[in-house]
Amino acid sequence: MQIMDALVRAQEAAAPEVGHGRLANYIPSLAAVDPRQFGMVIASCDGQVHVIGDADVRFSVQSISKVFTLTLVVAAEGERIWERVSREPSGNPFNSLLQLDQEVGRPRNPFINAGALVVTDRLHSLTGNACEALGDLLRRESGHDDVVSDPEVARSELEAGHRTSALAHLLASYGNLECPVDQVINQYVAQCAFSMTCRELALAGLFLARDGVLADGTRLLSARQTKRVNAVMLTCGTYDSAGEFAYRVGLPAKSGVGGGILAIIPDRGVACVWSPALGPTGSSAAGLAALDAFTTYSDWTVF
């Protein structure tokens, strides 16, 4: 089946889920988003881009940003980050304090909030400005100079981010932060507040389908490093529903509570889908249905 035909089938499969679920109402600015939106993009390694629906509407990328910050840290210093963060599925909510305390301040993986705080801390130490380094990568790979962090979303998330603050202080109590706690929290919130479209995110993530090669032909990650980032996405990228996501979709992916999901098809391309209403585990309900259908009706899967 042609990609565009599979995209249409994906949109049809997602339609019953669009608008059904909950918005991320613990972040006030995200609670105001119209939940009845849906967009999807397939960007292939050969340069083709296929779009459907609201694919050019910007939304808050939230935890999808964690893939890119992890990539920058791995690119800078290889395996060292794994001395501070594990690589196992959490089996618990993404903002669990209990699990972090039980495991003496070493987060279960880099995509839950505690793990992402550690990665952001390291990137901030390496670059002097983690958010700026992330923005440079996103702008360069998406081809859009106006991709920035939304200060209103960042402020909204910071004001409501009591658990994020608690996680950061708990990490610091175990000696697992290098930078001042307030700096890490501000950088983390700013990175989650980047606003992008499905098209921009898909293009930005294409290097993960090209064995780590950027749009200009230079290499950010080795093929081995790219494989490992994708592997962690497959096992940990959708929080405590990673098993169900792998069963239904069969792709490395990272979701965010803004309603976006970025999925990688190695050597083929990238899928990005967005619909703001979330299912019970914090990923887009319509997005999951769309990716399930797309991998069913196309041959774009790792299995």
**Which residue among the candidates 74, 96, 118, 188 is catalytic per the annotation?**
188
Does residue 63 carry a catalytic annotation? Answer: yes
Yes or no: say if 264 and 208 are a contact pair by the CB < 8 Å rule: yes
Known active-site residue 66: yes
Among 67, 73, 189, 239, the active-site one is 239
In angstroms, the first-to-last Cα distance of the chain is 17
| Active-site residue, selected from the candidate residues 67, 73, 257, 270 | 257
> How is 223-246 classified by DSSP, letter by letter?
HHHHHHHHHHHHHHTTGGGHHHHH
* Distance (Å, whole) CA 58 – CA 200: 9
Let me know if 188 is a catalytic residue: yes
d(CA 43, CA 129): 29
* Catalytic annotation present for 26: no
Q: Is 222 a catalytic residue?
A: no
- Catalytic residue (choose from 60, 63, 96, 241): 63
Catalytic residue among 51, 66, 96, 189: 66
Label residue 128 exposed, middle or buried (CB < 10 Å: 0-12, 13-18, 19+).
Answer: exposed
- Nearest 5°: phi and psi at 265? -115, 95
Q: Kindly list the catalytic residues.
A: 63, 66, 188, 239, 257
